[in-house]
Amino acid sequence: MSGKINITDLNIVVLTEDSDISHFSCGNVELDTFLAKTAKIAQVEDTSRTHLAYLNGVLVGFFSLICDNIARKQIDIEYQKENYVHKVYPAVKVTRLAVHREYQGRGIGHALLYYALGTVYALQKYAACRFVIVDAKPDAIDFYKMFGFHSNTAAKNKHLLYFDYNEFRRRLDEKADVMA
């Protein structure tokens, strides 16, 4: 299977009790087990919100989000040139993100991250969220960095990557000004 997949090719829906999740495998046992055994329970308990991505009816990926926060000391010193004045910032955490092993490398992971940021955009109207964060698996750190996530190797949790949503929105606004 080959060829890039666009975000508009995907049908992304929130997991429900009736969702068929039986044929998904990304190759990572912890992620596959979460989807198969825990995701529906967590959905009902309101401890995780999972979104499923379908391509022509096939479940090709999923991601889960929760509300969280990030301490200023987790943010890179160099990056703190932005002058973060608060000790803690509100965040949405991507707790899991996975693409079906047969569909990896075709842009779906990137599309899902983009979509996750879109859900944060919608949330911003009702509840503030400054950062999007992720506890990245070592193999996936570069995937998130390519997207614009930062890491702080001097921090306690070296796998916690962060993305300043405010900066992202400012960049989009500047782009819109230039194009106007």
Ligand X SMILES: CC(C)(COP(=O)(O)OP(=O)(O)OC[C@H]1O[C@@H](n2cnc3c(N)ncnc32)[C@H](O)[C@@H]1OP(=O)(O)O)[C@@H](O)C(=O)NCCC(=O)NCCS
160 in contact with ligand X (CB under 6 A): no
CB of 159 to ligand X, least distance (A): 9
Q: Quick one: which of 137, 150, 158, 169 contacts ligand X (CB under 6 A)? A: 137
136 in contact with ligand X (CB under 6 A): yes
x-or-dash pattern for ligand X, window 70-109, by CB under 6 A? ---------------------------xxx----xxxxxx
Of 141 and 166, the one with the shorter C-beta distance to ligand X is: 141
- Site residue total, ligand X (CB under 6 A): 21
36 in contact with ligand X (CB under 6 A): no
Of 12 and 136, the one with the shorter C-beta distance to ligand X is: 136
3-state per-residue secondary structure call for the chain: CCCCCCHHHCEEEECCCCCCCCCCCCCCHHHHHHHHHHHHHHHHHCCCEEEEEEECCEEEEEEEEEEEEEEHHHCCCCHHHHCCCCCEEEEEEEEEEEECHHHCCCCHHHHHHHHHHHHHHHHCCCCCCCEEEEECCHHHHHHHHHHCCEECCCCCCCCEEEEEHHHHHHHHHHHHHHHC
Contacts with ligand X, residue ranges (CB under 6 A): 26-28, 31, 97-99, 104-110, 136-137, 139-140, 142-143, 146
